[in-house]
Structure 1
Amino acid sequence: MATDSRSAEPASAPAAEAIGSAGFVHLVARADGDALAASGLLARALADRGTPFQVSVGPTVADRTERVRDRRAAADDVTVAIGAVDADATRLDTDDRPATLAALEAVRGLEASPDHVLALAGLVAAGVEPGAGESEWVLEAARTQGLVDRRPGVAVPTTDPVDGLAHSTRLRAPWSGDLSATRTALEELGVDLAAPDAFDSDAHRTIGSAVALDIVGDDEAVPAAAETVQRVLRPYATADAPFATIGGYADVLEATARTEPGTGAALAMGHDAREPALDAWREHGRRAHAALEAGSTGRYDGLFVVGVDDGPVEAVARIAAAYRSPESTVLAVADGEAAIATRGGEPLGATVEAVARELEEVGIEGVAYDGGRRRGYLRYDPGVDESTLIQIVRDRR
């Protein structure tokens, strides 16, 4: 439910100051890859210090608020929110800056050593190119330690390119979501798919070039696809990490945050959760591409709408905005939930909160929402008329 005030504003003092002497820390995270990585960075620092902690992941402001309020805190307990909450908590991040960067500052304030590969994956999930802006030192540290190396190819989590490309939600090609079709497309390249660990630069380059051509040459691709696909080419390969590339790691974080948050949290904390995380990622990618393929579409002034019968609306909206939408803003609508995604970098928290308020004002029940960088999520009574939601979002865009 949308509320009239927010009591948990971003903390003026570093989060490290709030949790440095805590007896117990409750981390309550937004359900996306950036926030999941931030929670993992903090959790690892707390574990190194011997400070007990708990990580909770909530897909809406109301869900996170309930988790904070339901817990009986001791005098030396501290609750850190990664994402907005309507309760008494220390807010780690701000709406216009990746939570991963805020977590890195807190970890350094605790005099702990962050996992630079996890941090880079969180930044990519937040839409930040590794090494750009404030992240330059993170990439440099990872390179200095020999943790990452840029190479030709495509950013997927697995060494098997068929598996990685078919299930990735960071790209959209004619074969996306279909293992058999992906394999057929790659077999035509003359690359030995049975020995991906032996791929040299030429093999990776061949696959990357073919993927780019398939994406931009798709009849349904929009001009923006040519720019978007550049973000998944020439990936940062990892030397000793759960997944083959930084971009692939980010894709898994995004998938698990929405579908298997417990698995995602365990992964971010450094536990051995690679296989269940990959299983969740595969199912998430398959469903997202199938939903986009089968979905209905409508174009409005400044808004592209995708109607989804069954599928992860946030992933559908994100993929459509990147590769299929002639408009910069996409609304994906399913039964009782919707997602907003944009190609721009503006935060959507205020927009989705305003949409939630207006839905309540016209009598819609069960409204809950969340917003972050370039994404917004809504949950509501399934009986709501789709045209009502579309009109409200149009008015707010």
Structure 2
Amino acid sequence: MSMSPAEQTPAADAAATLREATFVRLRVHTSGAAVAAAGVIGRALETLDVPFRIRATEAPDTTANDDVAAVVGLSDADADLELDPRDAVTVVRELGVDPDPVVALAGQYAAGVSPEDDTDLVDAARDVGVESRPGVAVPTADLADGLAHTTLVHASFSADKERAQAILAELSLPAELDAGAHKRVASLVALDATGDGATPRAVSAVERVLHPDATPNGPFATVGGFADVLDATVRETPGVAVALALGHDARDAALDAWRDHARATHAALREATTGRYERLYVLSCDLSSPGRLATVARLARDFRSPEPTVLAVGTGAAALVSTGPSGLDEQLAAAATELGDASATGSPEEATLRFDPSVEPKSVVTAVREVRR
């Protein structure tokens, strides 16, 4: 379960501990924000010649007596450090190291943080070629591929590259996209994502994919696209996501995981059986991955749900998300006690649950509704 900000280790204290460590074990939440933060910290530790290991998992780690155990985006009473992903840049600066600006920006994007007030980070990003432009935040130069597999929006072209190609063809785009062409693509995406079946919340949710920061010298086409790949990949193949965040050559493997994640989650959202309760929208999906269910729930919250909180239930797993911090980690932890051999983890605005696959989805829904009363 994730911690409240008050429980987390201050950046200066974290840096002091990391600087003197003989070995650091970083255990991170399976989210794009947390794995990007671990990448920023890991790169700094490399610069300082401090040995480390990063694992993206909810499972506790075994440590030696002289190891420093740190968790990012998680709560662990036995850990030496509990770090908020949003503090990674500050921690690294306290270590006397400049954070990698593209990875740092991708992490902040994934965490929903605007870097506008961090002039040093913005200036460093500009120095490596990052620039704002019209268009959409996808990771690939191939727009049809990007639109079909982004998990930042849910639209008619989601998980359907042929449809994405067809609607892009209607725009008669030039071979080299200029500002006007990028604007036409952005308008198409905005209209499609807020059209038939979308809820009023989709109008604001779709803005996240518009007006991207382009990264011509980065591993992906845009900062938002990089964040999307990290978030999808860490839920599919955590080791690849960690390698990517650390700057290793994992781009192709990450894009494959991103595409797999998108196809599975968009299809599950379309095919889900739904139910509506007071302040809760429920989807029953044919999925067993907590990470995939979390993405389904988030997409439903942003583009399909008439309620602010969404529960996606699969086989042996479920995910609960909301429009803001609502104590969801505590709610699922309480629900887990009603479901026998079950466990929950996450944050106040996104949490996941594992339970025995023999448990019926309706029992999970009942348990969650009871603890939310």
The interval holding the TM-score normalised by the smaller chain is over 0.9
- The CA RMSD over aligned residues, in Å, is 2.0
- Alignment match, 1:222: 199
Q: Distance in 1 between matches of 2:128 and 2:286?
A: 45
Cα shift at 1:383: 1.5
Cα shift at 1:14: 2.1
Residue 327 (structure 1) aligned with residue 314 (structure 2): no
- Alignment match, 1:239: 216
Which of 45, 69, 83 does residue 73 from structure 2 map onto? Answer: 83
Cα shift at 1:100: 3.1
Task: Specify the SS of the correspondent of 1:190.
Answer: coil
Residue 176 (structure 1) aligned with residue 158 (structure 2): yes
In the alignment, is the contact (CA less than 8 A) between 1:117 and 1:147 conserved in 2?
no
In the alignment, is the contact (CA less than 8 A) between 2:72 and 2:85 conserved in 1?
no
Segments of 5+ residues of structure 2 without an aligned counterpart are none
In the alignment, is the contact (CA less than 8 A) between 1:351 and 1:396 conserved in 2?
yes
In the alignment, is the contact (CA less than 8 A) between 1:156 and 1:244 conserved in 2?
yes
* Distance change >3 Å, CA 232–CA 345, structure 1 → 2: farther
* Distance change >3 Å, CA 90–CA 386, structure 1 → 2: same
Q: Distance in 2 between matches of 1:130 and 1:322?
A: 23
Q: Which amino acid aligns with 1:11?
A: T
Residue 213 (structure 1) aligned with residue 213 (structure 2): no
* Distance change >3 Å, CA 20–CA 369, structure 1 → 2: same
Q: Which amino acid aligns with 1:227?
A: S
- Alignment match, 2:320: 340
Q: Distance in 2 between matches of 1:163 and 1:126?
A: 24
Q: Which amino acid aligns with 1:149?
A: E
Q: Distance in 2 between matches of 1:230 and 1:53?
A: 37
* Distance change >3 Å, CA 387–CA 283, structure 1 → 2: same
Q: Distance in 1 between matches of 2:348 and 2:370?
A: 20
Q: Distance in 1 between matches of 2:325 and 2:118?
A: 19
- Alignment match, 2:346: 371
In the alignment, is the contact (CA less than 8 A) between 2:321 and 2:350 conserved in 1?
yes
- Alignment match, 1:96: none
- Alignment match, 2:178: 200
Cα shift at 1:139: 4.9
Matched length? 365
Cα shift at 1:74: 4.2
In the alignment, is the contact (CA less than 8 A) between 2:309 and 2:320 conserved in 1?
yes
Q: Distance in 2 between matches of 1:157 and 1:345?
A: 28
Q: Distance in 2 between matches of 1:29 and 1:148?
A: 27
* Distance change >3 Å, CA 373–CA 40, structure 1 → 2: farther
Q: Distance in 2 between matches of 1:154 and 1:138?
A: 25
Q: Which amino acid aligns with 1:390?
A: V
User: 4+ runs of 1 displaced by more than 6 Å?
Assistant: none
Q: Which amino acid aligns with 2:329?
A: G
Cα shift at 1:343: 1.9
Task: Specify the SS of the correspondent of 2:299.
Answer: helix
Greater alpha carbon shift after TM alignment, 268-277 vs 370-379: 370-379
Which of 279, 295, 308 does residue 285 from structure 2 map onto? Answer: 308
Cα shift at 1:105: 1.5
Q: Which deviations, in whole Å up to 9, do the C-alpha atoms of 1:44-79 show, x marking residues without a partner?
A: 001011111111111x3xx1x2x2xx33x143x211
Cα shift at 1:391: 2.2
Residue 11 (structure 1) aligned with residue 9 (structure 2): yes
Cα shift at 1:138: 5.7
Q: Which amino acid aligns with 1:267?
A: L
- Alignment match, 1:149: 131
- Alignment match, 1:52: 51
Identity of aligned residues (%): 44
Q: TM-score of the superposition, structure 1-length normalised?
A: 0.87
Task: Specify the SS of the correspondent of 1:92.
Answer: strand
Q: Distance in 1 between matches of 2:204 and 2:315?
A: 32
Q: TM-score of the superposition, structure 2-length normalised?
A: 0.92
Q: Which amino acid aligns with 1:356?
A: A
1:156-175 correspondence runs (5 A): 156-175=138-157
Residue 388 (structure 1) aligned with residue 370 (structure 2): no
Task: Specify the SS of the correspondent of 1:14.
Answer: helix
Q: Which amino acid aligns with 1:380?
A: F
In the alignment, is the contact (CA less than 8 A) between 1:317 and 1:340 conserved in 2?
yes
Q: Which deviations, in whole Å up to 9, do the C-alpha atoms of 1:84-114 show, x marking residues without a partner?
A: 3445212332xxxxx3332112111110110
Q: Distance in 2 between matches of 1:178 and 1:316?
A: 16
In the alignment, is the contact (CA less than 8 A) between 2:296 and 2:312 conserved in 1?
yes
Residue 248 (structure 1) aligned with residue 212 (structure 2): no
